[in-house]
């Protein structure tokens, strides 16, 4: 069975310094991933409109599938790339997805695809970052999805058996926000290009380091707020003496289209609005030793739209750079909280938190119980 790995990494060119820095990080991770997939024995196809990245990946031996940022439609472009690949099976992922995935996990995916009938393998039921399927031509049976969050669902609905990759930090950790890159840097893991790029960062990481250290102490109270799944809670319960205070809501809000339609409703968001950010974080600091806050649910509550600029500067705690008055006030209150509060996207209560849990387990002498 001939299996191709199709990696998507592109989009509009950076428009500001922060976007430029993140693009450099994503490109470094993408090239590490291309090399890793090749070591696993896979043919690698990179779909991109970024010329420098294409040239670097081509020099590593990857095939390049040129895309255009204007009028880009994920499903249609993926379908064309799959057809041109001629592969029997496909592993799809974005360039910054699963930077810690090991060769053993890639081999596990390939074995799962070869075991029987039409099969789709995903790393996450709600919103997959990696989707692999066999036969590759099965993609022709589904309506081309607008984004990769829907790909696993569409293939399953078309009649494929869905297989979930066993849980681990590597399988759940992907890179979307500045906080995710700070977590990768703190972990000391990842490919050589990524680590070299991370060493060039000058982003503040004091709150992250303080919160990560709390996880390794005895019986701390830790708040998890946002799209928290059961797998990370179970992992904590098996491995760390941590008391979790969990406020989980709006899982799958992107994949289900709730965010796009302005349908997100957040109890925490309403509490922050009613109490005010300062009083909310004052109360949170009274009952917890650290907090990990997936702010995207809060930012989407009741149809609110927050720009990438403001989201990313909020993640970094740079309140003075934020344009939205509410987001600026919220971020300043979080930074001034008596406990370390880590702000970010989904990963800070999912894959990124899993990476930090592994760090805490190692600090306590490990090993982890899967």
Angle between helices 103-113 and 17-39 (to 10 degrees): 70
Give me the pLDDT at residue 37, please: 98
- Alpha-carbon distance of 35 to 23, in angstroms, equals 18
> How does DSSP classify residue 346?
G
How would you class 55 by CB atoms within 10 Å of its CB: exposed for 0-12, middle for 13-18, buried for 19 or more? Answer: exposed
pLDDT tens per residue, range 255-313: 888 999 999 999 999 999 999 999 999 999 999 999 999 999 999 999 999 999 999 99
Give me the pLDDT at residue 367, please: 83
- Alpha-carbon distance of 112 to 121, in angstroms, equals 7
Over 90: is that where the pLDDT of 3 sits? yes
The SS3 of residue 227 is: coil
Asked if residue 302 lies in contact with residue 265, where contact means CB atoms within 8 angstroms, the answer is yes
Asked if residue 10 lies in contact with residue 69, where contact means CB atoms within 8 angstroms, the answer is yes
Give me the pLDDT at residue 141, please: 95
Residue of 217, 194, 225, 247 lying closest to 353 (CA atoms): 225
Give me the pLDDT at residue 121, please: 97
Give me the pLDDT at residue 116, please: 82
pLDDT tens per residue, range 180-190: 999 999 999 99
Q: Where are the beta strands (DSSP E) in the chain?
A: 3-8, 43-48, 63-66, 89-94, 119-122, 130-134, 161-164, 221-226, 243-248, 290-294, 341-344
Q: CATH number for the 3-166 domain, one of 3.90.550.10, 2.40.50.140, 3.40.50.2300, 2.60.120.560?
A: 3.90.550.10
Average pLDDT taken over every residue of the chain: 95
- Alpha-carbon distance of 85 to 104, in angstroms, equals 24
Model confidence band, residue 71 (pLDDT cutoffs 50, 70, 90):
confident
Where are the chain's structural domains?
3-166, 178-363
Give me the pLDDT at residue 306, please: 97
Over 90: is that where the pLDDT of 334 sits? yes
pLDDT tens per residue, range 82-129: 999 999 999 999 999 999 999 999 999 999 999 889 999 999 887 789
């Amino acid at each position: 069975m001939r299996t191709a790995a199709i990696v998507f990494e592109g989009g509009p060119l950076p428009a500001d310094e922060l976007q430029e820095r993140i693009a450099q990080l994503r490109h470094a991770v993408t090239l590490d991933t291309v090399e890793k997939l090749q070591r696993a024995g896979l043919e690698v196809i990179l779909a991109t409109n970024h010329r420098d990245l294409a040239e670097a990946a081509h020099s590593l031996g990857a095939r390049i599938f040129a895309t255009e940022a204007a009028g880009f439609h994920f499903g249609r472009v993926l379908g064309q790339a799959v057809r041109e690949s001629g592969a029997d099976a496909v592993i799809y992922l974005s360039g910054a997805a699963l930077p810690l995935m090991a060769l053993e996990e890639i081999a596990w995916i390939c074995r799962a695809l070869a075991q029987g009938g039409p099969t789709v393998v995903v790393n996450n039921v709600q919103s997959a970052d990696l989707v692999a399927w066999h036969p590759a031509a099965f993609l022709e049976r589904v309506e081309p999805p607008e984004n990769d969050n829907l790909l696993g669902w569409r293939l399953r609905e078309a009649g494929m058996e869905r297989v979930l990759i066993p849980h681990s930090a590597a399988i759940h950790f992907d890179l979307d926000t500045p906080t995710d890159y700070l977590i990768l840097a703190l972990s000391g893991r990842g490919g050589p290009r990524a680590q070299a790029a991370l060493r060039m960062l000058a982003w503040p990481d004091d709150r992250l380091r303080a919160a990560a250290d709390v996880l390794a102490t005895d019986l701390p109270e830790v708040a998890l707020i946002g799209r928290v799944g059961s797998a990370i809670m179970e992992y904590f319960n098996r491995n760390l003496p941590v008391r979790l205070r969990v406020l989980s809501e709006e899982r799958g809000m992107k994949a289900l289209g709730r965010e796009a339609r302005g349908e997100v409703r957040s109890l925490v968001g309403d509490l922050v609005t009613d109490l005010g950010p300062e009083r909310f974080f004052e109360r949170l600091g009274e009952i917890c030793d650290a907090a990990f806050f997936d702010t995207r649910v809060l930012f989407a509550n009741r149809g609110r739209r927050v720009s990438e600029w403001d989201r990313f500067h909020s993640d970094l705690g740079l309140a003075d750079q934020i344009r939205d008055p509410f987001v600026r006030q919220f971020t300043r209150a979080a930074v001034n909280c008596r406990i370390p509060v880590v702000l970010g996207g989904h990963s800070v209560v999912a894959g990124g938190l899993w990476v930090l849990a592994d760090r805490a387990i190692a600090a306590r002498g490990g090993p982890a119980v899967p």
